[in-house]
Amino acid sequence: GNSVTQMQGQVTLSEEEFLFINCTYSTTGYPTLFWYVQYPGEGPQLLLKVTTANNKGSSRGFEATYDKGTTSFHLQKASVQESDSAVYYCVLGDRDTGYQNFYFGKGTSLTVIP
Amino acid sequence: EAAVTQSPRNKVTVTGGNVTLSCRQTNSHNYMYWYRQDTGHGLRLIHYSYGAGNLQIGDVPDGYKATRTTQEDFFLLLELASPSQTSLYFCASSENRNTEVFFGKGTRLTVV
Per-residue model confidence as pLDDT tens digits over A60-86: 999 998 888 888 889 999 999 999 999
Q: What is the DSSP letter of A97?
A: G
Identify all chain B residues contacting A104, using CB atoms and an 8 Å cutoff.
42-44
Picking from B10-24, B42-56, B78-92, which range would have the lowest pLDDT averaged per residue?
Answer: B42-56
How many angstroms separate the CA of residue B104 from the nearest CA in chain A?
6
Q: Give the integer Cα–Cα distance in Å for A47 and A57.
A: 9
Asked whether the beta carbons of residue A102 and residue B45 sit closer than 8 angstroms, the reply is yes
Cβ contact A44–B42 (<8 Å) = no
Beta bridge partners of B77: B20, B65
How many angstroms separate the Cα of B94 from the Cα of each of A49, A91, B28, B97, B104?
15, 15, 9, 7, 12
A92 closest CA partner among B49, B96, B43: B43
Q: Which among A22, A43, A34, A57 has a CA at the least distance from the CA of A86?
A: A43
- Chain-chain contact of A106 with B41 (C-beta, under 8 angstroms): yes
Partner-chain contact A101 B58, CB within 8 Å:
yes
Interface probe for B, chosen from A36, A49, A102, A106 (most Cβ of B below 10 Å), is: A102
Q: Which residue in A57, A55, A35 sits closest to A46, CA to CA?
A: A35
Return the closest-CA partner of residue A22 out of A9, A13, A12, A3. A9
Beta-bridged to residue B11, according to DSSP, are: B109
Residues B28/A95/B37/A62 CA torsion (nearest 10 deg): -90
Conformational region of residue B102, where left means phi above 0, alpha means psi within -120 to 50, and beta covers everything else: beta
Q: Number of A to B CB contacts under 8 A, please give it.
A: 44
What pLDDT shows up at residue B2? 55
What is the per-residue pLDDT for A23?
93
Question: Which tens digits make up the pLDDT trace of B57-97?
Answer: 988 999 999 999 999 999 999 999 999 999 999 999 988 77
**CB < 8 Å from B in window 3-42 of A:** 32, 36, 41-42
Cβ–Cβ below 8 Å for B98 and A93: yes
For residue B88, the chain A residue with the least C-alpha distance is A43
**Residues with pLDDT less than 50, chain A:** none
Q: What is the pLDDT of residue A93?
A: 81
Query: B45 pLDDT exceeds 70?
Result: yes
Helix/strand/coil for A82: helix
Task: For residue A97, give the chain B residue with the closest CA.
Answer: B97
What are residue B76's DSSP bridge partners?
B21, B66
For residues B26 and A53, the model is more confident at B26
* CA A43 – CA B44 distance, rounded (Å): 14
Q: In which band, very low, low, confident or very high, does the pLDDT at B32 lie, cut at 50, 70 and 90?
A: very high
pLDDT at residue A1, as a whole number: 75
- Close Cβ partners of A22 (under 8 Å, ≥ 6 residues apart): A6, A7, A8, A72, A74
Do B48 and B34 form a contact (C-beta atoms < 8 A)? Answer: yes
Please name the residues between 92 and 111 in chain A that touch chain B, using a CB distance below 8 Å. Answer: 93, 95, 98-102, 104-107
Of B93, B111, B79, B80, the closest CA to residue B35 belongs to B93
Chain A residue with minimal CA distance to B90? Answer: A43
Q: What pLDDT, on a 0 to 100 scale, did the predictor assign at position A32?
A: 83
